[in-house]
Amino acid sequence: MSPGHVEPFRWNLARREQLGRLLAGAFDGDPWWCDDEFQLCCARILAHTEGHRVFFVGRSLESAFDYLSGALCDTSAADRLNLFLFSMRYRSATPTALAAMRDYMRALHLDPRGVARSAVAFVDVVWSGETFSNLVGLLRDWCDEEETDWHAVRRNIRIVGVTQRTKTSPKTWRWHQHSDAMAMLPADAVKNVSLEPRMWSYLGNHQPKITGSYDPRRWGDDDVAHPDHNEKQVTALQEAWHIFEDGRTPAGRSRLAAMMTKTSGMQHAWFRRLLTEVKQSAG
């Protein structure tokens, strides 16, 4: 880790004692995350990660990260789940900002050499796929600069896009088929999970988030390393904690286990082993 490394702050939901009064008061929100639609989405995401290190990109799917972190905290997959606060809709960043982002990625072992050594699955809500494209492009350029073997990196990248469910037809627009960056990856590297439009829009566009967007204007800014206690973020923290805690309950784990049996992951031994662990942790 370099001396100038800056990592965006996010509360650790597993450490209840650090949250103190931020969780004061009764939570009166709707437990929407218990809906089968969200549960199945989480299970399908898990199935497509192929047992690799998992990085939820940005903030859109932090609820999925929180739920799975709770549900899998007593399993062998606990250490594979990560939140990677990255936002880059347009490929523009100053050299200083780019250097700061690279320091952050090195700390997560997401630099080219780190990815070449250990495969990763990037997960995010997708509309046009611009964030994924820019992330892959960043890694490709980095490989060229450091003379790292791009082929060793590309074969270790998986992309899981959570898309808005629509009626399918031969003319359905598929984001990854229109991305030059996705074309640089192996043909089977991109997987999609569809989500009901209202929930997709809530997670991607309307849900209050715990942290601010970490875009190039903020990369390396010392302020992002400190907590913000504004009302929206405290409200988001309270919801996130309840999501995490619900995942830890026997009922939450049993719901996830039931949804895991409905996914394509059941054809893989690693996924069936994980399912057994989830069931055992549910008691």
Per-residue pLDDT tens over the stretch 50-108: 999 999 999 999 999 999 999 999 999 999 999 999 998 756 789 999 999 999 999 99
Rounded CA separation 62/140 (Å): 26
Question: Across residues 178-183, what is the average pLDDT?
Answer: 85
Per-domain residue ranges for the chain? 37-282
Task: Give yes or no for residue 198 having a pLDDT over 60.
Answer: yes
Dihedral over alpha carbons 83, 86, 89, 95 (to 10 degrees): -170
* Run of H or E including 198: helix 197-201
CA atoms within 13 A on the CB side of 20: 3
Question: Which residue in 41, 204, 209 sits closest to 128, CA to CA?
Answer: 204
pLDDT of residue 47: 98
In this prediction, residue 24 carries a pLDDT of 75
- CA distance to 62, 239, 246, 247, per residue, from 254 (Å): 21, 21, 11, 9
Q: Which of 170, 37, 36, 58 is nearest to 122 (CA)?
A: 58
Paired with 158 in beta bridges are 121
Residues 228, 9: Cα–Cα separation, whole Å: 9
- The pLDDT score that the predictor gives to residue 234 is 87
Residue whose pair of structure tokens reads 């611009």 in the numeric block: 130
Q: Is the pLDDT of residue 2 over 50?
A: no
CA distance 235 to 208: 7
Which runs of E-coded beta strand occur in the chain? 53-57, 81-84, 120-125, 157-164, 190-195
**In which band, very low, low, confident or very high, does the pLDDT at 173 lie, cut at 50, 70 and 90?**
low
The phi and psi torsions of 261 (rounded to 5 degrees) equal -70, -15
CA distance 123 to 61: 8
